[in-house]
Structure 1
Amino acid sequence: MRLYQRTGSPFWWLDTTVGGNRYRGSTGETGKREAKKAADRIVDQLEQNLKRAGEVWTISQALGKWYTEHAEIKRSGDAIWSNIGNIERCLDCSTPVDMLTSAMLMDFRAKRRGEPAYRSATTEKAKERAAKLPPRYVQAPTINRDLAYLQAALRHAKLMHLQPVADIPWSKIKYPENEPRNRFASHDEFEAMQSIDDADLADIILAATATGLRRGNMRWTWRQVDLRGKTVTIARTKGRVPIIVRLSAPVVEMLKRRRAAATKGTEVPSPDAEVFDFTNFRRRWERLRKSLGMADFHWHDLRHTFGTWARKCGVDLPTLKEAMAHRDIKTTMRYAQVEADEIATTFDKVGDRMAQSTAHSEGKSWKAS
């Protein structure tokens, strides 16, 4: 370590080497004794930075560790890897995890919002049509998903590897969530969907509405269906937990009819044969929505319909949570719509109880205890 004075500068300067890296800079002090103390502080800080650089992970390292130790084994591993690519493209991931700031994340958010959203066109003709449409940009829910994965990676680094992660107000960084959809089929709409010419699609709609299953869990094989026990077993679900769903009478009758049509002279259909025909499913579903004037109705709204109808029939939330295979009852409450007449009935019941209490207490004098 060498202290020296430069021509034209009133300060003492430091020339030293720490960890093989040379450092030259002003101490900011005009007196030699004070400059010596300042130089000691500078060297100490340089040594701490060098030590921290070997111990504290970068954001990129945290993302890599989280992916290999946790996210890679998930069914959505490929999609998560794509989101990690978004993060590394729009955020300086060489930053140490304890140096990440809210300002950096706000810049990341702005960069992502300005990126074009990729259209899911596969054929040349579809790509030509997509090119003529107005440009689309990355939407808030997609950016929130990127931020959620980054948050999960940093939490993993902190809890599992004791990394000194920066304290970030994630709820304020993420975009506000959209209001949950409040759309379910009326009885008239359901009857209309059952009266279409596409009998195979009508059967899928019947089964989906009666079981509340997601579309990804509707590709049943006959091996999964137990008509005698009136159940269907879903081996892989969104929560990676196998579930057994009870089949109601209309679904059992429909499945018996489909099994009889599938046997073609044999005793039972092949166990690995699919129960429903999903050929050109998206095109058939869009044609149905257009013909019935239900443009605002999505396939997932059949699951909303199951939850709403069950709640209106008096099913309590804990029971409905188990039926819909939710992890958190807060999710169930999004499907459990309550109409105004049901709310009024609740108030009426409490009012009746209050009236009974008032009538019972007439003629009594109340004393303060």
Structure 2
Amino acid sequence: MPVYKRGDIWWYDFTVKGERFRGSTGARTKEVAIKLERREYDAALLGNLHKPLTLEEAADLWFTARKAGRKDAVTTARRIKIMLRHIPGATPLADIGARTITEAMNARRFEPIRRGKNAKDTGKLPTNSTINRDLIDSTLRPIMRYAARNLEAKVKDIPWSDLRLAEPRPVVIWFTDDQIAAWAEHMPHWHRPILRFMLRYGVRLKEAFFDFDEAVHDSPAGMDIYTRDRKNGPHVVALLDEDAREMRARIGRARAFNVGRPPEQRLTTPWFREMKDGSLRPIQWRGFQSASDLALDRAKIDARPAHDARHHAATMLLRLSKGDLASVKELLGHEAIQSTMRYAHTSRDDLRAALRHAYATPTTPDAENPNDNNTKKTA
């Protein structure tokens, strides 16, 4: 048998020209393991199995074993392309050291960010956080660790913490009522219900555009929305009664509109725009994202619409629930509480309130501290 399982990992074992080759594929599924074993077998036939492993080969093997089919596969593949632009794919993995990585990071610092299908130059340079993720956290470090542990590759001892660029201290991300009002004011009215939904329930952008025929579970007990599956099962968004009533009305209108229409013209999400002739036009997630970016720019609010709305939802629930981190974890659909702690922030006002409660001191009418970190700053 070319592959066999040891624990959760599949291994390969074969003989070519009297020489035995065996090792770990690093894969947790047989299908992926067989694919990796065939690659190793072909390399052995050509006499290339013991040639130095290149960065591109290691990246391909790591991606196939660890990232293919996962929700972050597309983002990771994009970052691998960025990495290979700055470190040639033919570079032997054993030759990559601190100097190579430093030179690549310096080059990345002056490469403008490109977005969209046509890779349009935005005129903006990547932040230190982006560079760290592109060239260390999401690519080189896990690739080299995987190669050393599972592919028996020789790699240098790299001081990763010394190479990472300094990142700004994270601020507490939540929007004031005035900021939310300004954000909504600069958006078309048909986008505003989506904004309210995301700010309250903290769903990811694409999860907000759920298929109501597949994701909605309505019952006398309440309405639940099942978003895409996560590691620990489907993420369930439990709607409040007032939001459930609005959602039922939206879904009812969408279903009435769909009657007699061909599948390609039917609404699949509860988000739509009513036209002058009474017809309904679906809202796409990219359209909402563009409208949000433009609205935030016009409102002079420095924020990322989907990502920061998720932080806002988590932070507000943490504050309003008096620190119930378990509920915040459930809201965001996280498997580990450590992930939730990166989203749910405590402001200095929250800390003062906790101290006053602990020591039974009265609230003072002092003016708001202008240096507090409660909100994102408005330009």
Aligned AA (1:312): R
Which residue identity does 1:323 align to in structure 2? L
TM-score, scaled to structure 1 = 0.66
Matches within 5 A, 1:19-34: none
In structure 1, stretches of 5+ residues that fail to align are 1-50, 354-369
Q: Map 1:330-369 onto structure 2 (within 5 A).
A: 330-352=338-360
Contact 1:66 1:153 in 2 (8 A): yes
Q: Which secondary structure does the structure 2 equivalent of 1:242 belong to?
A: strand
Residue matched to 1:230:
223
Q: Give the equivalent residue in structure 1 for 2:251.
A: 259
1:74–1:207: structure 2 CA closer, same or farther, 3 Å change rule?
A: same
1:186 aligns with 2:179: no
Q: Does the 8 Å CA contact 1:220/1:276 hold for their aligned counterparts?
A: no
Q: Is the 8 A contact 1:210 1:247 kept in 2?
A: no
Corresponding residue for residue 311 of structure 1: 318
After superposition, residues 18-97 of structure 1 pair within 5 angstroms as 54=50, 56-97=52-93
1:219 is aligned to 209
Matched, 1:141 2:133: no
CA distance in 2, matches of 1:156, 1:197: 46
Q: Which residue of 1 aligns with 2:153?
A: 163
Deviation per CA, 1:179-235: give whole Å up to 9, x if none: 334332223444566678844312112221221111121112222112324100002
**Is the 2:174–2:311 contact (alpha carbons within 8 Å) kept by the matching residues of 1?**
yes
Give, in angstroms, the shift of residue 241 of structure 1: 4.6
> Separation in 1 of the partners of 2:129 and 2:348?
31
Of residues 287, 301, 306, the one that matches 2:308 is 301
Q: Distance in 2 between matches of 1:338 and 1:63?
A: 38
- State which structure, 1 or 2, has the greater radius of gyration over its C-alpha atoms: 1
Between the aligned partners of 1:257 and 1:196, the Cα distance in structure 2 is: 25
Distance 2:82 2:185 in 1: 45
2:187 and 2:49 mapped to 1: Cα distance?
67
Instruction: Give the CA deviation at 1:310.
Output: 0.8
Code of the aligned partner of 2:302: D
Matched, 1:209 2:209: no
In the superposition, the TM-score normalised over structure 2's length comes to 0.65
The answer to whether the 8 A contact 2:187-2:291 is kept is no
Q: Report the AA paired with residue 268 of structure 2.
A: A
- CA deviation after TM superposition for structure 1 residue 240, in Å: 8.3
Rounded to whole Å, the distance in 2 between the matches of 1:207 and 1:68 is: 36
Note closer, same or farther for the CA distance 1:201–1:339 as it changes in structure 2 (3 Å cut). Answer: same
Aligned-pair RMSD on alpha carbons? 3.7
1:248 and 2:237 equivalent?
A: no
Query: Are the aligned partners of 2:217 and 2:225 in contact in 1 as well (CA < 8 Å)?
Result: yes
Contact 2:172 2:346 (8 Å CA) reproduced:
no
Q: Which amino acid aligns with 2:195?
A: I
Percent identical among aligned pairs is 20
Distance 1:194 1:162, change over 3 A: same
SS in 1 for 2:225: strand
| Number of residue pairs matched by the alignment | 293
Displacement over 6 Å in runs of 4+: 194-197, 269-272
* 1:346 shift after superposition: 2.5
* Closer, same or farther: CA 91–287 of 1 in aligned 2, 3 Å: closer
Task: Please tell me the residue identity of whatever aligns with 1:101.
Answer: G
**Distance in 1 between residues matched to 2:74 and 2:291, nearest whole Å:** 28
Letter in 2 for 1:162: E
Counterpart of 1:31? none
- Per-residue deviation at 1:92? 4.7
Q: Structure 2, unaligned stretches of length 5 or more?
A: 1-46, 273-282, 362-379
Q: Where does residue 200 of structure 1 map in the other structure?
A: 190
SS at the partner of 2:237? Answer: strand
**Given the superposition, is the C-alpha separation of residues 191 and 250 from structure 1 closer, same or farther in structure 2, using an over 3 Å criterion?**
farther
**2: distance between equivalents of 1:253 and 1:100?**
58
Q: Distance in 2 between matches of 1:256 and 1:71?
A: 37
Determine the C-alpha separation between the residues in 2 that align with 1:140 and 1:339: 24
Give, in whole Å, the separation in 2 of the partners of 1:108 and 1:87.
8
Distance 1:298 1:92 in 2: 32
Answer whether contact 1:193 1:205 (CA < 8 A) is retained: no
Alignment check: 8 A CA contact 2:187 2:295 kept: no
Tell me: higher relative CO, structure 1 or 2? Use CA pairs within 8 A at least 6 residues apart. Answer: 2
Post-superposition shift, 1:309? 1.5
Deviation of 1:154 after TM superposition, in Å, equals: 1.0
Q: Helix, strand or coil for the counterpart of 1:54?
A: coil
Matching of residue 274 in structure 1 with residue 272 in structure 2: no
Letter of the 1:152 counterpart: P
